[in-house]
Amino acid sequence: MSALLEAREATKVFGGGLFDKRVTVALDDFSFAIESAPPRVTAIVGESGSGKTTLARLLLGLITPTSGQILYEGHDLQKLAGHDRRTFLRDVQMIFQDPYEVYNPFYRVDHVLETPITEFKLAASPAARRALINESLRAVGLRPEETLGRYPHQLSGGQRQRIMVARAVLMRPRLIIADEPVSMVDASLRATILDSLRQLNQQYGMSIVYITHDLTTAFQISDDIIVLYRGAVAEAGEVDLVVRHPRHPYTQLLIKSVPEPNPEHAWGSVEIRPEAADLEDGAAQVEVSGPVGLLPTGVAASVAAKAHGGHLLTGCTFADRCPYVMPMCHESPPPLFRIDPGRAATCFLYRDRPALASEELNQVMAAERGATAR
């Protein structure tokens, strides 16, 4: 059976005009499938320039991959038309980082809830429409009588974001892609919104892709996690394994940045943010001699790459920060190694384990849970 939504060896590069041969590799040879059952919450975690927002836009069909494919139920997303396209637009909903940008300030907030009901013919009568809106608002902890009839500026950021979650609820999608949904709300509302997302997963059977720079909230609500670094998977697998027993040096660095030594106390109370230097680095840049459209899959990792600082990188993109760097790390890019049944990492430290092709990450993510870290 085809996956609900799948990135298959997807690479996205930007730039590479006629006179400037440098391109930015935002996502490099990324494969990941979201199965329709059982519904799971998968976190995509990364700092600025890791490729997570590019991935979200690819999964939504807002941009096209430079190479590779995005498939919806086995069909190329870019070729979907007619009924299939409408089904996709209903099945896959997005929750954005800044809810205010989604609202038209001249319309009452009712408008964002009524429009999809009309567009997708979700209610047969005005009474059914009102019942659907009320149910959706209550599902995210909002009181209809205190919410409807107001303009966006009359509501708090948290209320506006919860309305966007309610909008997703009334569409009854099979998958929600939430891109940094709590990064612009204060800490007290963060938990409420995350609870709402978790409820959608558990009560309504919706799968969630939770995109964030914040490992703490990813740990709180996810079943699985994919840690991205400069457009490629650093470590991925069952969230407890990856967060409590990180194996990739980059994941270990992220976990260590939690100031509280006892992770039982730290999670949920401390937000892990990328260091200032990380924010400046951004995605890997490479210099190419041919048209961008002809770039092979795996370009960032497999061709001579010119990154920030002017160094030629032919190996691991984390080598310049890694405390365990070895000569071989500079010679060729590490493949994914399967460390546990439910976890893999892209690091030569685990070269005695089975190496995987990028598309085999799906087998790791689908592995029977309960594996223990060694």
Residues that bind ligand SF4 (CB under 6 A): 249, 316, 318-319, 322, 324-326, 329, 334, 347-349
CB of residue 85 to ligand SF4, shortest distance in Å: 41
Q: To the nearest whole angstrom, how small is the minimum distance from the Cβ of residue 318 to ligand SF4?
A: 4
Please give the full DSSP string across 112-123, using - where no structure is assigned.
HHHHHHHHTT--
CB of 253 to ligand SF4, least distance (A): 10
Cβ nearer to ligand SF4, comparing 250 with 267:
250
Residue 216 CA to residue 271 CA, distance in Å, equals: 6
Query: With respect to ligand SF4, which residue has the nearer C-beta, 59 or 347?
Result: 347
Residue 89 or 325: the one with the smaller Cβ distance to ligand SF4 is 325
CB 88 within 8 A of CB 267: no
Q: How far is the CB of 327 from ligand SF4 (least distance, A)?
A: 10
Alpha carbon distance, N-terminus to C-terminus of the chain:
33
CA-to-CA distance for 211 and 216, rounded, in angstroms? Answer: 12
The token pair that represents 54 in the structure block: 């590019």
* Least separation in angstroms between CB 7 and ligand SF4: 23
Q: Based on CB atoms, which residue is closest to ligand SF4, 210 or 348?
A: 348
Rounded Cα distance between 141 and 198, Å, is 13
Residue 192 tokens, joined: 């409420």
Asked if the bond preceding 38 is cis, omega within 30° of 0, the reply is: yes
Shortest Å, Cβ 333 to ligand SF4: 8
Return d(Cα 26, Cα 79) in angstroms, integer: 23
Q: Which CB atom, from 34 or from 301, has the smaller least distance to ligand SF4?
A: 301
- Which of residues 28 and 114 has its CB atom nearest to ligand SF4 in the complex? 28
Q: What is the closest distance, in whole angstroms, from the C-beta atom of residue 227 to ligand SF4 in the complex?
A: 12
- Taking the least distance from each CB to ligand SF4, the nearer of 4 and 225 is 225
Give the residue ranges of DSSP H helices in the chain: 52-59, 82-91, 110-119, 126-139, 144-147, 157-171, 187-204, 215-221, 239-244, 249-256, 263-266, 276-281, 299-302, 361-365
